[in-house]
Each structure stands twice: as structure tokens, then as C-alpha cells.
Amino acid sequence: MANINFRPLHDRIAVRRVESDEKSKGGIIIPDTAKEKPQEGEIVAVGSGARDESGKVVAPDVKAGDRVLFGKWSGTEVKINGEDLLIMKEADIMGIIG
């Protein structure tokens, strides 16, 4: 895992997309223009958590290294240290794989 110089704030999370297969199940090679972006990724950095109504920080349920599923339109694409990442809120994550 590459070391990034970025720490998300509050309940935001930095996710690296997991690359999808380049062939279909039937063996057809899928060109880049026809591929759907994967909705699965690996968390590379996590913020400290959001604050609840009383002002207490609620720690996130995920940690760096977790493999997660997220919504199709979740997050904002950014480039940090030459690497494409997604920055999203913890609420955009549907679950942890594993």
C-alpha cells in the first residue's frame, strides 16, 4: 500500500478503487470506454470521525486496509501523489467485504 500524505477530515474516507476484470465471463475483452467503474475499493485513509449532537466525536466503523462496497455515484474523484482516489463520507459506504 502506497503511503499518501493526506488525512481526511471528520467522517470522510479516502478509497482506492479495485480494478475490474478486463474480460467478461464469456471471454470477451471489454474496452476501457465500455467498462463500468468498480463499486469496490480499499480504504487508504480515514478521518477522525463526525461529531454527534452533544459534540462528542464518533469514531468511524472502518479503518485503513478495509475492503468496502460503495454506491455507484459516491465520492469525489481526486488525484493525490499521482494516484486516483475517491473521497467520500462514511455514510456512502454500504459495507465491509471480508
Q: Is residue 77 part of a domain?
A: yes
- Does residue 28 sit within a domain? no
pLDDT band at residue 39 using 50, 70 and 90 as cut-offs: confident
Nearest to 75 by CA among 50, 60, 93, 59: 93
Average pLDDT over residues 14-28: 71
In a domain, 38, yes or no: yes
Is 3 within a domain?
no
- Mean pLDDT (the chain) is 84
Instruction: With a cut of 90, say whether residue 19 has pLDDT above it.
Output: no
Q: Is residue 43 part of a domain?
A: yes
pLDDT digits (tens, 9 = 90+) for 45-86: 999 999 999 989 999 999 999 999 998 889 999 998 888 999
On whether residue 23 sits in a domain, the answer given is: no
Count of domains observed in the chain: 1
14: Cβ–Cβ under 8 A, 6 or more apart, which residues? Answer: 4, 6, 8, 43, 44, 45, 46, 80, 85, 86, 87
At 98 the pLDDT is 81
Question: Which residue, 1, 13, 2, is CA-closest to 59?
Answer: 13
Domain hosting 77: range is: 10-17+33-94
Q: Is the pLDDT of residue 93 over 90?
A: yes
Amino acid at 39: Q
Residue 5 within a domain: no
Report the CATH number at residue 52: 2.30.33.40
Q: What pLDDT band is residue 16 in, cutting at 50, 70 and 90? A: very high
Residue 32 has pLDDT above 60, yes or no: no
**d(C-alpha 96, C-alpha 82), whole Å:** 26
